[in-house]
Amino acid sequence: MVDDTLRRFCWLIPLLMLAASAAQAQVRIKDIADVEGVRDNQLVGYGLVVGLNGTGDKLDSAIFTRQSLIGMLERLGVNTRDQAAKLQTKNVAAVMVTASLPAFVRSGSRIDVAVSALGDAKDLTGGMLLVTPLLAADGEVYAVAQGAIATGAISARGANASVTRNVPTAGRIANGATVEKEVGYLLANKTAIRLGLRNPDLTTARRMAAAVNTALGGTPAKAIDPRTVAVDLAGRDVIEALARIEDLRVQPDNAAVVVIDEASGTIVMGANVRVSTVAIAQGNLTIRVTETPEVSQPGPLSNGTTTTVGRTNVQVDDGADKKLGILNANVTLRDLVASLNALGVGPRDMISILQSIKAAGALQAELQVR
Q: What is the pLDDT of residues 318-337, one digit of tens each?
A: 555 555 555 555 666 667 66
Paired with 97 in beta bridges are: 45, 115
Cα distances from 234 to residues 229, 247, 261, 304, in angstroms, run 16, 20, 47, 106
DSSP 251: -
pLDDT of residue 310: 61
**pTM higher than the cut 0.85:** no
CB 126 within 8 A of CB 194: no
- The Cα–Cα gap between 169 and 37 comes to 35
pLDDT band at 183 (very low <50, low <70, confident <90, very high): confident
Paired with 95 in beta bridges are: 47, 117
Report CA 293 to chain centroid distance, whole Å: 50
**Burial label, 325 (beta-carbon count in 10 A; 0-12, 13-18, 19+):** middle
pLDDT of residue 25: 67
Paired with 165 in beta bridges are: 154
Q: What is the pLDDT of residues 51-83, one digit of tens each?
A: 998 899 998 888 888 888 888 888 888 887 777
Q: 19 or 365, which is more confident?
A: 365
pLDDT at position 144 over 60: yes
Alpha helices in 76-231 (DSSP H): 202-216
Work out the angle between the directed axes of helices 202-216 and 238-246 (0-180°, nearest 10): 130
Alpha helices in 114-227 (DSSP H): 202-216
Q: Which residue, among 78, 55, 80, has the nearest Cα to 66 in the 3D structure? A: 80
CB 115 within 8 A of CB 134: no
Single-letter amino acid, residue 24: Q
Structural domain boundaries in the chain: 41-179, 186-250, 258-296+309-369
Residue 276: what are its φ and ψ, rounded to 5°?
A: -75, 170
